[in-house]
Amino acid sequence: MIEALAFYMFASITVAAGVLVISVRNPVHSVLFLILAFFNSAGLFVLLGAEFLAMILVVVYVGAVAVLFMFVVMMLDINFVEMRQGFLQYLPIGAVVGLILLVELAVVVGGWHISPEVVAAGAAPTPDAASVTNTQALGQLLYTHYVYLFQAAGLVLLVAMVGAIVLTHRKRTGVKKQVIADQLARSAAQSVKLVKVETGKGI
């Protein structure tokens, strides 16, 4: 009963947060709902007995949300001064997201005390879980049967990272950039110019 209740709670909030991520117009609100969706997806992984994937989802992706938000700010040219001035208007959305996470934590902790057999079932998702841990079994599977697909996924992520950097640092007209090679190649005659100013015609 507790496991089914936790599943429906995590699943419904994940779907609702995912819809809000792509429907809200404010990028700050979108980031907050994205963090909420990641935390609830991690809760679903815990219910499946994949605690390693849940921790990776929270540590890696929630941490990467800050980098994602940085790219959004850089590409959309958002004014930081206006964002700081409008802190109070983001406070209700942040409070709602925090309250939802607090309620979910209370339900999970309460479920552990009400039915401890759920925790034992989640900690042993495979028949040989007593001899092989979840992390060890996942590593054996990824680096043996799916090693080429794992490397291909890493290559796709590398290309995506390079593409995001190229889009962010695109050339703009009228913007001066420092060229180190041109500076080092200049001679003293090119760098210094002596001008003889007539008396009374200076600044």
78-93 CB burial, b ≥16 within 10 A, e <16: eeeeeeeeeeeeeeeb
Write down the pLDDT at residue 125.
52
- CB-based contacts of 27: which residues, under 8 Å, 6+ apart? 69, 72, 73, 76, 78
191 lies in some domain: no
Write down the pLDDT at residue 143.
87
CATH of the domain at 161: 1.20.120.1200
Write down the pLDDT at residue 177.
74
Residue numbers of the domain that contains 131: 2-184
Using alpha carbons, list the distances in angstroms from residue 45 to 1, 7, 124, 151: 18, 10, 13, 23
Residue 126 has what DSSP assignment?
S
89 lies in some domain: yes
* Backbone phi and psi for residue 128, each to the nearest 5 degrees, phi listed first: -100, 30
Residue ranges, the chain, pLDDT below 50? none
8 lies in some domain: yes
199 lies in some domain: no
Write down the pLDDT at residue 95.
80
For the chain, the domain total comes to 1
142 lies in some domain: yes
203 lies in some domain: no
Rounded to whole angstroms, the Cα distance separating 70 from 58 reads 18
pTM above the 0.95 mark? Answer: no
194 lies in some domain: no
Write down the pLDDT at residue 159.
94
23 lies in some domain: yes
